[in-house]
């Protein structure tokens, strides 16, 4: 059995240090409840780019958009600089694993472009994978670069095999198949936050994969825009009442609810995942086992981390 912590939170928006402190405090609270695994929403640190829609995000070469982007980039996570070290230490102390949604500014892609990444950290506090979102959705492409297949991996935890995808990647059949092929039986889908994304798809993914399906979302309100954010007042006015209303939920391998979608509320809920329920549902359908036909259809995954140059020779 795995005890899952599902924190639906409002972000410390566009403030990396405050967001990381919130993550660590939430881990400590979950440790007091003896959680084994905790999951956080898409781009939780430092936050989702909610400003784009209402502030002319697509205006080309626009000074306002450049200023907001520069602030966003400054608050992003560079793993090589140790930004996640304290989170890893907190998880190690708690003997807890985590999926954490971040906006990543990696040094292997210039140190300036941003990626929507889903990071898996194990119970020993080690970062085991960083999955960069394959295809940012719609206006997200104005700030996030497309990722690669390097992070399309699963992780063994007890009697379970865990995998995770960002937001609308969960609609991509081949991305899901890449995880099914590696034995995934707990699927973690991270979202910026809205029930319209989670209510139907979470149960469908559970039935398709005969897996536990976990959707984790955030809450976002105008008051969550911090004063130090460039053009804060304009962004607040553009957001509406609640651009992200949550919808975090968990479905069992038969598609029934373990935790129904939580709407408009902040809080951490807990549930236990039982591997026997996976085994029961795999009796009649196993998407990468007895019900697959690799002699007829197979998926080829390029798992190489993409970079601009490969260097041969040298010291």
DSSP run (H or E) holding 259: strand 257-263
- Burial zone of 158 (CB within 10 Å; 0-12 exposed, 13-18 middle, 19+ buried): middle
Summarised one tens digit per residue, pLDDT across range 88-134 is 999 999 999 999 999 999 999 999 999 999 999 999 999 999 999 99
- pLDDT, residue 77, reads 98
Write down the H helix ranges in the chain: 16-32, 63-75, 85-94, 173-180, 195-198, 201-209, 232-239, 275-281
Q: Tens of pLDDT along 264-290?
A: 999 999 999 999 999 999 999 999 999
Whole-angstrom distance, CA of residue 309 vs CA of residue 87: 32
Whether residue 206 is contained in a domain is answered as: yes
CATH number of the domain encompassing residue 54:
3.60.110.10
Task: Work out the mean pLDDT of the chain and round it to a whole number.
Answer: 97
The whole domain housing 183 covers 2-281
Contact (CB, 8 A) for 117 and 127:
no
299 inside domain:
no
Residue 315 above 80 pLDDT?
no
Contacts of 199 (CB under 8 A, 6+ apart): 247, 249, 261
Q: Hey, which residues are catalytic here?
A: 42, 133, 167
What integer pLDDT is reported at residue 246 of this predicted model?
A: 97
SS3 254: coil
Predicted pLDDT at 2: 97
Asked, for residue 26, whether it belongs to a domain, the answer is yes
Q: Look at the chain and report how many structural domains it folds into.
A: 1
pLDDT given at position 314: 75
Quote the pLDDT of residue 310. 87
Mean pLDDT of 280-308: 95
């Amino acid at each position: 059995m795995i005890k899952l912590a599902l924190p639906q939170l409002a972000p410390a928006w566009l403030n990396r240090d405050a967001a990381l402190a919130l993550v660590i405090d939430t881990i400590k609270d979950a440790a007091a409840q003896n959680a084994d695994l905790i999951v956080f929403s898409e781009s939780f640190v430092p936050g989702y780019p909610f400003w784009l829609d209402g502030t002319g995000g697509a205006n080309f070469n626009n000074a306002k958009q450049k200023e907001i982007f520069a602030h966003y980039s400054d608050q992003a996570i560079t793993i090589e600089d140790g930004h996640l070290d304290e989170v890893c230490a907190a998880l190690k102390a708690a003997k807890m694993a985590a999926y954490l949604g971040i906006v990543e500014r990696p040094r292997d892609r210039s140190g300036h472009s941003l990626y929507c990444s889903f990071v898996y950290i194990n119970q020993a506090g080690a970062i085991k994978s960083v999955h960069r979102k394959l295809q940012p959705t719609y206006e997200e492409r104005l700030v996030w670069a497309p990722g690669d297949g390097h992070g399309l991996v699963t992780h063994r935890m007890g009697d379970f095999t865990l995998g995770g995808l960002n937001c609308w990647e969960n609609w991509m059949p081949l991305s899901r198949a890449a995880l099914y092929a590696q034995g995934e039986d707990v699927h973690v889908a991270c979202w910026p936050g809205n029930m319209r994304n989670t209510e139907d798809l979470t149960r469908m993914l559970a039935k398709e994969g005969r897996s536990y399906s976990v959707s984790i979302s955030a809450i976002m309100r105008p008051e969550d825009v911090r004063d130090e954010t460039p053009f804060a007042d304009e962004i607040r006015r553009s957001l509406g009442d609640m651009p992200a209303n949550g919808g975090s939920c968990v479905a069992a391998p038969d598609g029934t609810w373990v935790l129904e979608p939580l709407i408009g509320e902040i809080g951490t809920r807990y549930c236990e995942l039982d591997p026997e329920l996976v085994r029961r549902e795999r009796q009649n359908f196993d998407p990468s086992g007895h019900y697959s036909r690799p002699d007829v259809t197979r998926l080829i995954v390029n798992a190489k981390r993409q970079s601009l140059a490969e260097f041969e020779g040298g010291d």
